[in-house]
Amino acid sequence: MSINVHRGIQYATAARQQPPRLVDDARETGELKVCPQFRDNLSEEYPDGNQVYLDEDCLQLNVWAPRTGGKNPVTVFFHGGASRFGTANEPRYDGTELARGGTVVVTANYRLGLLGAGNNFLRDQITALEWVQKRIGSFGGDPRNVTAMGESEGAFSLSAILATDNPQRLMRRVILQSGSGYLTHASPTPSVDLTGMSTLEILRLQEKMVGENPLTGAVYFGPYIDGELVKRPVVDALRAGNARGVDLLIGTNRDEMRYFAQFDPDILNLTLEQYRAFFPRELDLGTVARAYRGEPNAALAMLTDQTMRVPATRMAEAQRRWGKAYVYQFDWGPAVHTAELPFVFGTMRFTGVPGGQQAHDADPRAAKALSEQMRRAWTSFGRDGNPGWPQYWLRITKIWDTGARLAIAPKDAQRAAWDGYDFAALRIAPS
């Protein structure tokens, strides 16, 4: 299938620390802009060799559209990167292979760090989805059949959008990869007046604020419950039917937290006592840890379940009353955070996935087949809400690996160990 590619379409403008304004236009510039950030040479890909990006006028998107008649389903992707790094223009997010499955693919930039604080980056994403509603028809997309897809920070954000007023006007379905409403903050990041500061000064300030701990740095910035845009915890909003009619596909990777060892190898030796700083005060650490006695590193396994897997199941449970809900777990290779992205996009680029390239090269044919299966499932879900496996009743979970399979209530004793915690919002103040 032939694909038309349209790059660098400006969907909004935004003054510093102000909400975005929709640009009701669809002209492409061909530019590959990156929102302000220092280059992350370990875990992100970039369209050029710049070491720092300073252009604040960066609210652009890209479109990959099949050359077919009629109206195609639409997938809109928001990247991860701890709300400090990343861009819609990373080569690993090339939408060509995904679009060949018969969907219009959109990838969008949004403001990062201090420049996107105050939930303005969330407003950027909402505005991008509003642009899609207005303009995607001219690219052969069906605005009534939009799936919003996010990974990591992109998934945190889309979860928060499900708790805003009338999310149904923006999307028919949502795919959340390694992220849930639990990572919506209960309170905002400390506010900073950026008046008179250069973009470079802002970047230096935010890195100083975040500090050097890669775990706390990953969640320093993010969406928060502000009482205006996001009025209450995401899981509470879903239980009340706020996203009634929106189908949900959500999942996590088996060893999410091992990803962070590329920034600090000592993370692989995280002890329960070190983990205590992240652990919810409402639970007893020793009691929960007993369910993880068979894990190579109990603290890392618990941190993966606390931040990713268990809150994902809570979202599925909350939403299945109001729409379809499906859960997956990605088990291939190292199965760390972001490891599923090369398979979903079919780009097979393993930047930021320790051990990923080696695992691929050990059996490239099997990896290619897994990617094809996952792309078919994602595009099928976007087309009609059915990825090809049962909904999340009896805790049925799709396990993605070479030899994909279904599992009923995988590692259920570990999941149940968290039953006394509400996973409403992130209450751990990064330091």
Neighbours of 294 (CB within 10 A): 9
Give the total residue count for the chain.
431
Neighbours of 1 (CB within 10 A): 10
**Which one of the listed residues 43, 83, 152, 178 is annotated catalytic?**
152
How far apart CA 110 and CA 116 sit, in angstroms, is: 8
How far apart CA 335 and CA 337 sit, in angstroms, is: 7
Q: Which amino acid is at 93?
A: Y
Angle at 64 between CA 106 and CA 53, to 5 degrees: 60
How far apart CA 143 and CA 75 sit, in angstroms, is: 10
Burial (CB count <10 Å: 0-12, 13-18, 19+), residue 30? exposed
The encoded tokens of residue 318 equal 């909350």
371 carries an active-site annotation: no
The encoded tokens of residue 431 equal 């330091």
Q: Is residue 348 a contact partner of residue 367, using CB atoms and an 8 Å limit?
A: yes
Taking alpha carbons only, the member of 47, 32, 118 closest to residue 83 is 118
How far apart CA 88 and CA 5 sit, in angstroms, is: 14
For 114-180, where are the E strands, in sequence order? 141-151, 173-177
Using CA atoms of 81, 82, 84, 86 in order, give the dihedral in degrees to the nearest 10: 10
**Residue 330 DSSP SS3:** strand
How far apart CA 268 and CA 270 sit, in angstroms, is: 6
Is the Cα dihedral 101, 103, 108, 113 positive or negative? negative
Give the HSE-up count for residue 60: Cα atoms under 13 Å, Cβ half-sphere.
Answer: 21
Which residues are registered as beta bridge partners of 398?
Answer: 328, 406
**Residue 191 DSSP SS3:** coil
Q: Percentages helix, strand, coil for the chain, rounded to the nearest 5?
A: 35, 20, 45
H helices, E strands: number in the chain: 14, 14
Phi, psi of 368 (to 5 degrees): -60, -45
**What is the set of active-site residues?**
152
